[in-house]
Structure 1
Amino acid sequence: MHTFLRPTLRRPSLRRGALAALATAALTAGMLAGPTQADTTTTAASPDLSVDDATAHLQQLSSIAQANGGNRATGRPGYKASVDWVKATLDAAGYTTTVQQFSTSSGTSYNLLAEWPGGDANHVVMTGAHLDSISAGPGINDNGTGSAAVLEAALTWAEQGRTPRNKLRFAFWGAEEQGLLGSNHYMRNLATAEKDKIEVYLNFDMLGSVNPGYFVYDDNAAGDGVRDQITAYYDSKSIAWEYIDVQGRSDHASFRSYGIPTGGIFSGAEGTKTSAQAAKWGGTAGQPYDPCYHRACDTMSNVDRTAFDRNLDAVGHMVWLQADTTYGTPPTTEPPTTPPAGTNLLANPGFESGSTAWTASSGAITSSTNRPARTGTWKLWLGGNGRATSESGSQQVTIPANAANPVLSYWIRTDTAESGSTAYDTMKVQVVSGGTTTTLKTFSNVGTNATYTLNSHSLAAYKGKTITIKFVSSEDYYLQTSFVVDDTSVTAG
C-alpha cells in the first residue's frame, strides 16, 4: 500500500456478521473472505479458496525476493521476475495475458492484465492488486497477500471451467509504491469507450496483517452497493468490520477518479489498533496493525493465517458474485447463436501455425519428416523417445450451452518398437473441466496402426462449459512408441 495520510476510521460498526505444507508452516498461526439493482440469482456459490495454495503463492514471491536482492521493487529484477512468474501461471491456466510496460523514475515497470475467455466484453469486472514491493523488503503482506489472493481467485475460476456473465479481468499493478503509477498509467491510456465498459473495480491491498483489522472501503458511489455486498458477506461469516476511507492510498483511486465504482478490504497498515478493536478482533491494542509495514521484516512471518484465510474467501465471494451480476439490459433475450454446423471451435486445429493456441511440451508440435502429418506438414507428435518421458498438447475451448451434439474428433497414427500384449507406453485423450480430468480414450503400444484413423467422442456433458482438450503420453524407460495426432476438431453439431 502506498504511503499516504493515515486513513480516517468512520462509523465503527457493532454488527457481526482454502500447495504445500512447507509454505503453510511459514505463516504465523492464527488468514478472509454489485449493484443494488443487480440480478444475482444465477450467481454460483462462493468458493472456499485454498489458503494452502495462496500461501504457496506467497512463498514463491518470497523466494523471488530472496533471489533478487531481498525485494520486488519497481525497476529491480525481483519485480520483473514476479511479473514473469504470475504471467506464466495464468497463461498455463488458460488466461489471455497482456504485459503493459511504462517508465518510472526508478526504471521500467510493468502492469500485467489477464482476461478469462467468455463473458460479455461490454460489461467488465476488474479485480486487482499491486505486485510491487518497496525497495527495503520483500513486501509479503504489502502486497504479496493481495496479489496471492487475486491470483488464487483467478486460478480457482479457471479450474471450475465456468463461463461468466461478465468479462473477468484480473490486474497486477506495477509501481503502486511509487504513487499508483501503474494503475494510473493503465487508466490514462485506456480509451474512453473501454473505460465505460468497466462496471466495477475490486482492489485488494494488504490482507494478512499480524495484528489485523477487518476494514471495508467506504466507497459507495452512485449507490453501486459494492461496499454493502462486502459487509453483507462479513456479516454472514460473523466477522465484525469497520468502514475505512483509504483515500488515495491504493490503486482503486485510479478508477474512482473516472467515476468507476470501487470496493475493497484492508487488514491495516501502520495505524494503531484501539482497545475497542482489540476487544472485538483480538490482537494487541496500542500496537500497529502491521508492525513491519514498509520494512525489511515484511516477510512470510509477517502474515496472520486466520486473517489471510478470511480475506481470501471474501475476495473469492466478490469475484464470483460480480462475475454473474446483471448490469443494465442483457445483450439479448434470445438463445445464444450456435455456430454453424461443422464450424471448428478449435484454433489452429491442424497445427500448421506451430504451437499457436496450443500448450504443448517442447518440440511436440513439429514439422519433422520422421513421422508424416496427415495433411500439411505440422502435427502433434507425442512419445517416440525410447526413454521414460511424459509429453502433452492441450487447448482450451468453450462448448456452447445450446450446442446440439458437440463432438471432439482427431486423426491419429501410431507405431512402436515394443512387442507383446503389455501396454508399456500410452497416450490418453482427456477433458479437463472444473478441476476434474476425464479420459475419453487410451491408446498404447498394443494394437498400433501406422495409418491415420479418425476417432470421435461426444462432448455433450460439457455444454455451456469451458474445458481443456488434452492429449498426454507416457513412455517407459525402454523402446519407443509414437503417437501422432493431426487435424483435430471440436464441433457444436
Structure 2
Amino acid sequence: MRKFLVPGVGAALVAGVLLAPGNAAVAADSPDISVTNTKAHLDQLQSIATSNGGNRYTGRPGYKASADYVKAKLDAAGYTTTLQSFSTSAGTSYNVIAEWPHGDADHVVMAGSHLDSVSAGPGINDNGSGSAGVLETALAYAASGQTPKNRLRFGFWGSEELGLLGSKYYVNNLPAADRDKIELYLNFDMIASPNPGYFVYDDNPSGDAARDDLVTYFTGKNVQTEFIDVQGRSDHAAFRSLGIPTAGTFSGAEEIKTSAQATKWGGTAGQAFDACYHRSCDTISNLDLTSLDRQIDAIGHMIWLYAQKDYTGGPPPAGGNLLQNPGFESGTANWTGTTGPITDNTGRPAHSGSWKAWLQGNGRATTENIAQSVAIPATATAASLSLWIRIDTAETTSATVYDTVKVQVVDGSTATTLATYSNLDKSASYVQKTLDVTQYKGKTVTVKFVGQEDSSAQTSFVIDDVALTAG
C-alpha cells in the first residue's frame, strides 16, 4: 500500500452496519479459506525476506524469490501461469499472472494483490497478507471441483510501491479486445493489520454491485464495515482507469483508529491500524489472524460468487454448462412450466444478476414448476446438477413438512426425484446443492423443479444459477 487512506462517505448506517444505498444482495454460502494455509504462505514470504537482506523489494533477490514461490504453487495446482517481466528504476520486476483454464474466456473475473515490499522491511502485512490470501483462494478453487461459468484470473503485481508499475504495465500491454473481456477486478492490499478495521473500497461507481456484495457478506458474518475512498492508491486504479468495475477490502495502514471504530471493531483507539506500516517491524509478528481469516473468507466468497455470475444470459460456452439461460437473466427463454415463477421481482433477491426462479411463496395450496430439456453426452465420465437455493418460510414448526420443492430428472415418462427441500430447510442465504446425474449420460432428459405449498403459511423456494456439467 503506497499511502494511508481516508474513510469516505456515501453509505447508510443500518442496524449498526454500513450498507450501500439500495443494497439488496444476499451472501451466498461460501467457502472457508484456510487461515492455516494462508499463514504458511506468509511464513514462507518471511523466510524469503530473511534470506535476502530482510526485504522483498523490487529489483532485489527477495522479490524474484517471492514471485517464484507464488508461481510454483499455482503451477502445481493446474493454473496456466505467466511470469511477466518489466523494467523499473530499481531493476527488473515481475508480475505473476495465473489463469484457471476453464470457463468462458470472453468473460474474465480477476483478483489481485501486490507482491512487493518496501525496502525497509519484509512487508508481511503490506502486502504479503493480500498476496497470501489471493494465492490460497486460487489454490482452494482449483481443489474444489467447481466448474466456473467465467474465466478466473489472478494477478500478483510487482513494483506497486514504486507507483503501481506492475498493474499499469499489465493493463497497458493487454490488447483492447482482452481488456474488454475483464468483467471485474478485485484488489486486496493489507488485510491483516494488527489493529484492524474493515474497509470496503468505494471509489468506482461501476463496481458498486461488487462493493455491495462485499458489504453484505461481512454483514452476514456480523462484521461491521466502513466505505473508504481509496483514491487510486492501489493496483485496482489501473483497471478502474479503463472503465473496468473494481472493488476490494483493506484493514488500515498508518491512519489512527478512532474511538468509534474501536467500539465497532475492537482494538485500540488512538493508535494506527498498522504501526509498522512501511517499517522494518512489518514482520510475521505484525498480523491480526482474526482479520486475516475474515478477509480471506470474503475473497473466497467473491470468487465463488462471481465465477458463476451470468454475464450473457445466453447459451453457455462449449464444454461448460449444458443448460441454456441457467441464471434466468433472459427471463423464461429456454424454460417451460408454470407462468410466473421466473421473475426479476425484487421481493426476493437473486443469487446473481436480477432474475431467478421464485417457486411458491403464495400462502395457499398451489403447485408450480419450471423445466428444461438437456442432452448429456454419452462420452461423459461424470455429470452433476447444481443449483443455488434460498428458502424462507412463515411456517413456525421445526418438525413438520408442509411445503416442498422437488428436484427431478424426467427420462421419457419416468420422473425421478433427486432431492426434496422443505420449509424445514429454511436458510437466510443461498446454499449450493450438487446432485449426481451421471446415470443419465447419453440421454436427453428434462431437468424439472416442482414446488408444492399447502393452504396456510407461505414458503418461498428461490432457485438461481443452475448448472448441469459433464466431464
TM-score normalised by L of structure 1 = 0.63
Pairing partner for 2:271 from 268, 279, 287: 287
Corresponding residue for 2:306?
A: 322
Q: How far apart in 2 are the matches of 1:69 and 1:274?
A: 36
Please give the root-mean-square deviation of Cα atoms over the aligned residues, in Å: 2.9
The corresponding residue for 1:205 is 189
Between the aligned partners of 1:85 and 1:55, the Cα distance in structure 2 is 14
Partner of 2:47: 63
What one-letter code is carried by the residue in structure 1 that aligns with 2:91? G
Alignment of 1:400-419 (within 5 A): 402-406=376-380
Structure number with larger C-alpha Rg: 1
> Which residue matches 2:280?
296
Distance 1:288 1:224, change over 3 A: closer
Deviations 1:251-301 (A, max 9, x none): 000000110000000000010000110111111111100000000000011
The unaligned stretches of length 5 or more in structure 1 are: 18-35, 339-400, 409-458, 464-491
Superposed displacement of residue 2, structure 1: 1.4
Kept in 2: contact 1:73–1:132 (CA 8 A):
yes
Distance in 2 separating the partners of 1:2 and 1:280? 26
Given that 2:42 and 2:132 are in contact with CA atoms closer than 8 Å, whether structure 1 keeps it comes out as yes
Structure 1 residue 2 corresponds to structure 2 residue 11: no
In structure 1, how many angstroms separate the alpha carbons of the residues matched to 2:309 and 2:166?
27
| Structure 1 residue 169, shift from structure 2 partner | 0.1
Establish whether residue 173 from structure 1 lines up as the match of residue 147 from structure 2. Answer: no
| CA offset digits 1:375-399 (Å, max 9, x no partner) | xxxxxxxxxxxxxxxxxxxxxxxxx
The one-letter code sitting in structure 1 at the alignment partner of 2:55 is N
Unaligned runs of at least 5 residues, structure 2: 323-374, 383-436, 442-469
Query: Which TM-score applies when normalising by structure 2?
Result: 0.66
The aligned residue for residue 229 of structure 2 is 245
C-alpha deviation, 1:10, in angstroms = 2.4
Alignment of 1:52-91 (within 5 A): 52-91=36-75
Q: Which of 111, 123, 137 is 1:127 aligned to?
A: 111
1:277 maps to which of 261, 279, 284: 261
When residues 227 and 297 of structure 1 are mapped into structure 2, their CA distance, relative to the original with a 3 A threshold, is same
Counterpart of 2:211 in structure 1 is: 227
| Aligned equivalent of 2:78 | 94
Label 1:37 to 1:273 Cα distance change in 2 as closer, same or farther (>3 A).
Answer: closer
- Looking at structure 2, the residues matched to 113 and 336 of structure 1 have their Cα atoms a distance apart, in angstroms, of 23
What amino acid is aligned across from residue 79 of structure 1 in structure 2? Y
Q: Which of 116, 130, 141 matches 1:157?
A: 141
Specify the SS of the correspondent of 2:273. Answer: coil
The change in CA–CA distance for 1:190 and 1:183 in structure 2 (over 3 A counts) is same
Quote the residue 1:418 is aligned against.
none
Closer, same or farther in 2 for the Cα pair 1:117/1:302, shift >3 Å? same
Kindly tell me: are residues 270 and 336 of structure 1, through their superposed partners in 2, closer, same or farther at Cα, counting changes over 3 Å?
A: closer
* Aligned-residue offset at 1:328: 3.0
How far is the alpha carbon of 1:146 from its aligned partner?
Answer: 0.2
Aligned length: 333
| C-alpha separation in 2, matches of 1:462 and 1:216 | 45
Give percent identity, aligned residues only.
62
Residues 358-380 of structure 1 deviation map (CA, whole Å, 9 limit, x = unaligned): xxxxxxxxxxxxxxxxxxxxxxx
Cα distance in 1 between the residues matched to 2:290 and 2:439: 38
Cα distance in 2 for partners of 1:11, 1:283 equals: 25
How far, CA to CA, are the matches of 1:8 and 1:240 in structure 2? 14
Distance 1:128 1:94 in 2: 18
Contact residue 220 and residue 226 of structure 1 kept, 8 A: no
Shift of 1:302: 0.5
Q: Distance in 2 between matches of 1:300 and 1:323?
A: 32
Does residue 50 in structure 1 map to residue 49 in structure 2?
A: no
Q: Partners in 2 of 1:283 and 1:147 — Cα distance?
A: 24
Q: Aligned with 1:167: secondary structure?
A: strand
